[in-house]
Amino acid sequence: MLERQRLHSGGTWGNTEVIRNRVGFSSDPADDAGSAPTKPSSIWPFQCFDWTDHGANSGQTVRYRVSAVRLPAGGALGETALEPVADSDWTEAIEISGAAGHGPHEALGQIPPAQVHEPSPRSYPSRLEPCEYPGHFEVRSVGDKGEIWWRGQALFVSHSLRGERIGLEEVEEGQWSVYLTSVLIARFDEQERRMYG
């Protein structure tokens, strides 16, 4: 969940606002109206590493906080407000302007980043080799909708893993550890068909 506060003219921070997200879960029904639906990120959490705040306006000063969230017991994905389990500190104040990202930066002595950037001398492949997993793992490729196929049905994992191969290791009957390379990213309960972070 992403939260924002706006700085008032008196120098105080306003109410905490939950930022809205335009990308829901693949299990959500399509919007027949053709418009882009939005929901608060406490219901549709951001599932990517980057995001955009479409509610902040030029000239405003804002700050942000990120919270890890989970679905409460008995909740419905995409409908029930998610429970925060941990949050970050508020960011430093950010002034919203059309020049953001291209102008001088204090950390660089007021020099634009493009003037000091040096390309890496190390070459990088356009695509990394597929991840290899031990032979006892179940290996699945994450599709364009962030899903894998499990026992003949689509199972949502994460939009941020699209195109990646993940490995599942059964640790108990119907209980699986989910890995991206050697990193444990989730637990999967096969009976409930739910991922737990």
Mean per-residue pLDDT, 171-191:
93
- CA dist 28 → 6, 31, 168, 197 (Å): 31, 9, 25, 20
Residue 166: φ, ψ to 5°: -115, 155
**pLDDT interval class at 123 (50, 70, 90):** confident
pTM, 2 dp: 0.44
CB 174 within 8 A of CB 193: no
Average pLDDT over residues 68-86: 80
pLDDT at position 117, please?
Answer: 77
Task: Please write the tens of the pLDDT for every residue from 38-51.
Answer: 777 777 777 666 67
pLDDT at 176 > cutoff 80: yes
In DSSP terms, which residues pair with 45 in a beta bridge? Answer: none
Average confidence (pLDDT) over 179-194 = 92
Residue 60's contacts (CB-CB under 8 Å, 6 or more residues apart) are 6, 7, 95, 96
Q: How many residues does the chain have?
A: 197
* Measured distance CA(197)–CA(195) in Å, rounded: 7
Q: Is the pLDDT of residue 104 over 60?
A: no
Burial of residue 8, with CB atoms counted within 10 A of its CB: 0-12 exposed, 13-18 middle, 19 or more buried: exposed
Tell me the per-residue pLDDT of 1-53, one tens digit each, with 9 for 90 and over.
788 999 999 999 999 988 887 776 666 655 555 555 777 777 777 766 667 77
